[in-house]
Amino acid sequence: MRAARTVLLEALVVAVTGLALALAANALSPRGLRLARNYFPVLPAVDGPATVGQTAAISNSPPTDPSQAAALRLQQRGFAIANGNEVFELFKDPRYEQGLIVFVDARDDDHFSAGHIPGAWQFNHYRPENYLPAILPACLNAMKVVVYCTGGQCEDSEFAAVALRDAGIPRENLVVYLGGITEWTTQGRSVETGARGSGQMLTPAAKP
């Protein structure tokens, strides 16, 4: 009995010390999380139809496919969604060169460097303070801001769109590209590797 109490007491000492050290390590780590921040913000649903160019077929029954669920959620929150062809049209639009259409990649540094839509800005919404000062002027100046991430079950484009809206970008200017970089590369479209504007282009083979 006494031995059990001793083990429990030892475990308590280890737990308290471990938690204190864990909190300190998280605070000191440059990659540490901010405990109070809501990394997965949810916007309340808005009344009325969703705004622009959505092409996903959405039924009234609850969707089982993650991209359909995401499309429905985005529409309920008033964000426009776009498919690969619509996004490619925006990419080829002369306004893209003029900075009136902006692409925003919501993935982390490693994925962004591995390949992003040419000319896209990076906005990792988990570290907004590192990216907002650079991208906010470009987004405020744009008529359309296309946000994307990996595609599929990736929700980062959705959270990034919410963060950009909170930062002052009008909701009607934001378009979420649900197919993301996976769809872009699957369709054989070029990506830029390294930093934005590096000019290092890579053309993946199109997949059926």
Partner 1 sequence: MSATSSGETTAQTRGVDYAAALARWLVGALFIYMGLHKALHPVEFLKLVRQYDLPLHHVALNFVAATLPWFEIFCGLLLVCGIAVRGAALLLVAVLVPFTTAVLMRALAMQKAGGLPFCAIKFDCGCGAGEVLICRKLAENCLLIITATWLTFLRGGIFCLRPELLKKSPGDKLS
**Binding interface with partner 1 (CB under 8 A):** 2-3, 6-15, 17-19, 21-23, 25-26, 29, 31-40, 64, 108, 126
- Shortest distance, CB of residue 19 to partner 1, whole angstroms? 6
- Shortest distance, CB of residue 128 to partner 1, whole angstroms? 12
- Shortest distance, CB of residue 3 to partner 1, whole angstroms? 6
| Cβ distance to partner 1 smaller for residue 73 or 119 | 73
Tokens found for residue 72: 């429905």
Tokens found for residue 29: 């780590």
d(CA 173, CA 143): 6
**Closest Cα to residue 155, out of 35, 46, 40?**
40
C-beta separation of 177 from 145 below 8 A: no
| Cβ distance to partner 1 smaller for residue 11 or 114 | 11
d(CA 48, CA 205): 41
- Shortest distance, CB of residue 86 to partner 1, whole angstroms? 27
| Cβ distance to partner 1 smaller for residue 11 or 100 | 11
Tokens found for residue 47: 């009344």
